[in-house]
Amino acid sequence: MMTRRFVLATALAGLTAVLSAQQAPDRTHPPQPGPPPALTLPTIQKRQLSNGLPVWMVEMHKVPVVQVNLLVFSGTADDPAGKFGVASLTTAMLEEGAGARSALEIADAVDFLGADLGAGTSIDASAVRLHVPVARLAGALPIMADVALRPTFPKDELERLRRERLTNLLQARDDPPTIAALAFSRILYGPAHRYGTAMLGTGATIAAFTPDDLRAFYAATFRPANTALLVVGDVAPDHVMPLLESSFGSWTAQTGAAAHATLPAAPEPARREIYLVDKPDAAQSQVRIGWIGVPRSTPDYFPIQVMNTILGGSFSSRLNMNLREKHGYAYGAGSGFDMRASAGPFAASAGVQTDKTAESLKEFFNELNGILQPIPPDELARAKNYVALRFPGGFETTGDISRKLEDALVYHLPDTYFSQYVQSIQAVTAADVQRVAQKYIQPGRFVVVVVGDRKKIEPGIRALNLGPIKIVTIDEVFGPAPSIPQ
């Protein structure tokens, strides 16, 4: 079926061109698209190493580069109570000493190969990621394996990263979007829930971590049974499997499943509340409005994608058209559901000019209320097409594909997920969109965070009568300013 449509499209395009080359173009109507091009999804080849480590591979032979990711199914959400930030610091320390190599030796070897090697943690996973010219893969894999499998957690390097991270935390207090995002999470989830604290942790936790904390977290999570390898790029599986086997196949140090933290359920706010963070003389107010959204496993995933595209997920979305194009209050406005293993936040957001802060809040709520009403058919069709038709373009680079594979693994997406994606979007109905809007967008219970010049914006916000107003200090958002050991 797809092939027939593709052939037809080619024939039609040729015909149009021949007919029209002789005449001035008809500009009275936009040219209509041909039938959609055939979507050829990359084939995922699944194998495993002798120690059971699963390997997912996608061949791409356009550019002689390869991406290799060692993906561990534990992230900051698995930080134990009192140790918020340990996952992030543990992963960062992997490159600071491993096997027989020092931090400087690792960096020199990687840079000399023209490779990019990085270790990082997200909320639901950690990874060591390598991007390298394929001719240098054999040289880079043993270094990557040292970093992932044989970290040494040197005390001096920990002290250095500790000071660096405490300074990062100090500098975060300068940046209004960072303040707004963290304040929003803090207010929704509270200090006890992992989602209510920065991924880095707090000044107190960062100051207290010991090498043993890092070793304990590493031992509990970096194990073959909690890990997968991804290879995307200009390699043949039969050629690359022996290389992977020799670097990762004998990894058996820790067996058994990793312990995963269970996050407490966070209650939704019961009523609308406004939180002001004072940033004297700020030229704009950073606004976040929303509540706790949905987990990645939500059965409403596709209707939510469509609904959010209409509300604030594209340039022509309602929030952007209103706050930017109609009123000029902002450079841009949008909304998004941050989906994680547990329910992450939904937020509508913008930076708005200080003297239009109250007016902007009014328009935000106009749109948040408006999305609860039936969606006009052409707007619905546009949003569905926007999400569905651009989907094939998301498989272009080794990085694009490896990120999609990571999502599939971390969130246990079904094998048919990618091949069914376009159909799943196109199947969303107006009734679906209205149902999920009414379920997940409840403006009467939304938390509003505004980071701006309180003296100038508070009277206008009060006059809107949106709900009780609370003043939040920067220290309440971040904890006290950290002191950095010399």
Partner 1 sequence: MAAPKIEVKYTQFTLPNGLRVILHEDHSVPMVSVNMWYHVGSARERTGRTGFAHLFEHLMFMGSGHVQPGQFDEWLEAAGGDNNGSTENDRTNYWINVPSNSLELALFLESDRMGYLLDTMTPKTVDAQRDVVKNERRQSYENRPYGQADITLGELLYPEGHPYHWPVIGYMPDLTAASYDDVVTFFKTYYAPGNASLVVAGDIETETARTLVERWFGDVKPGAPVEPMTMPGVALAGVQKKTVTDKVQLPRLSLAWLTPPHLAPADAALDIVADMLAGGKNSRLYKRLVYDMQIAQSVSAGQNSQALSSYFLIEATPRPGHTVEELQKVIDEEIARLQNDAPSQHEMERSFNQIEASFYNRMERVGGFGGKADQLNAYYTQTGDPDWFNEDLGRYRPLSATDVQAAAAQYLPLGRRVELVVMPEGSK
Binders of partner 1 among 281-310, rule CB under 8 A? 281-284, 286
**Shortest distance, position 448 Cβ to partner 1, whole Å:** 19
**Shortest distance, position 261 Cβ to partner 1, whole Å:** 31
Decide whether 132 or 289 has the Cβ nearer to partner 1: 132
**Shortest distance, position 378 Cβ to partner 1, whole Å:** 8
Decide whether 242 or 394 has the Cβ nearer to partner 1: 394
Going by C-alpha positions, the residue among 161, 158, 171, 95 that lies closest to residue 126 is 95
Binding window for partner 1 (CB under 8 A); candidates: 118-126, 217-225, 318-326, 429-437: 318-326
Q: Which of 299, 377, 393, 468 binds partner 1 (CB under 8 A)?
A: 393
Decide whether 64 or 459 has the Cβ nearer to partner 1: 64
Q: Map residues 143-172 to x or -, x wherever contact with partner 1 holds by CB under 8 A.
A: -----------------x--xx--xx-xx-
28-57: contacts with partner 1 (CB under 8 A)? 28, 30-39
Decide whether 122 or 168 has the Cβ nearer to partner 1: 168
Decide whether 341 or 449 has the Cβ nearer to partner 1: 449
Please say whether the beta carbons of 336 and 312 come within 8 A.
Answer: yes
Decide whether 122 or 353 has the Cβ nearer to partner 1: 353
Decide whether 170 or 408 has the Cβ nearer to partner 1: 170
Decide whether 130 or 199 has the Cβ nearer to partner 1: 130
The two three-digit tokens of residue 117, written as one number: 């090697």
351-390: contacts with partner 1 (CB under 8 A)? 351-353, 381-383, 385-386, 388-390
Going by C-alpha positions, the residue among 449, 458, 448, 279 that lies closest to residue 355 is 458
Going by C-alpha positions, the residue among 158, 132, 128 that lies closest to residue 145 is 128
Decide whether 252 or 331 has the Cβ nearer to partner 1: 331
Binding window for partner 1 (CB under 8 A); candidates: 190-198, 320-328, 365-373, 402-410: 320-328
Going by C-alpha positions, the residue among 206, 200, 201 that lies closest to residue 159 is 206
332-351: contacts with partner 1 (CB under 8 A)? 351
**Shortest distance, position 316 Cβ to partner 1, whole Å:** 5
3-state secondary structure the chain: CHHHHHHHHHHHHHHHHHHHCCCCCCCCCCCCCCCCCCCCCCCCEEEECCCCCEEEEEECCCCCEEEEEEEECCCHHHCCCCCCCHHHHHHHHHHHEECCEEHHHHHHHHHHCCCEEEEEECCCCEEEEEEEEHHHHHHHHHHHHHHHHCECCCHHHHHHHHHHHHHHHHHHCCCHHHHHHHHHHHHHHCCCCHHHCCCCCCHHHHHHCCHHHHHHHHHHHCCHHHEEEEEEECCCHHHHHHHHHHHHCCCCCCCCCCCCCCCCCCCCCCCCEEEEEECCCCCEEEEEEEEECCECCCCCHHHHHHHHHHHHHCCCCHHHHHHHHHCCCEEEEEEEECCECCCCEEEEEEEEEHHHHHHHHHHHHHHHHHCCCCCCHHHHHHHHHHHHHCHHHHHCCHHHHHHHHHHHHHCCCCCCHHHHHHHHHHCCCHHHHHHHHHHHCCHHHCEEEEEECHHHHHHHHHHHCCCCEEEECHHHHHCCCCCCCC
**Shortest distance, position 286 Cβ to partner 1, whole Å:** 8
Q: Which of 53, 103, 149, 277 binds partner 1 (CB under 8 A)?
A: 103
Q: Which of 331, 420, 438, 459 binds partner 1 (CB under 8 A)?
A: 331
Q: Which of 136, 215, 260, 445 binds partner 1 (CB under 8 A)?
A: 136
Decide whether 250 or 483 has the Cβ nearer to partner 1: 483
Residue found by looking up tokens 């977290």 in the block = 217
**Shortest distance, position 426 Cβ to partner 1, whole Å:** 12
211-270: contacts with partner 1 (CB under 8 A)? none
**Shortest distance, position 486 Cβ to partner 1, whole Å:** 6
Residue 114 touches partner 1, criterion: CB under 8 A:
yes
Residue 312 touches partner 1, criterion: CB under 8 A:
no
434-473: contacts with partner 1 (CB under 8 A)? none
196-215: contacts with partner 1 (CB under 8 A)? none
Residue 314 touches partner 1, criterion: CB under 8 A:
yes
Q: Which of 1, 3, 24, 463 binds partner 1 (CB under 8 A)?
A: 24
**Shortest distance, position 303 Cβ to partner 1, whole Å:** 18
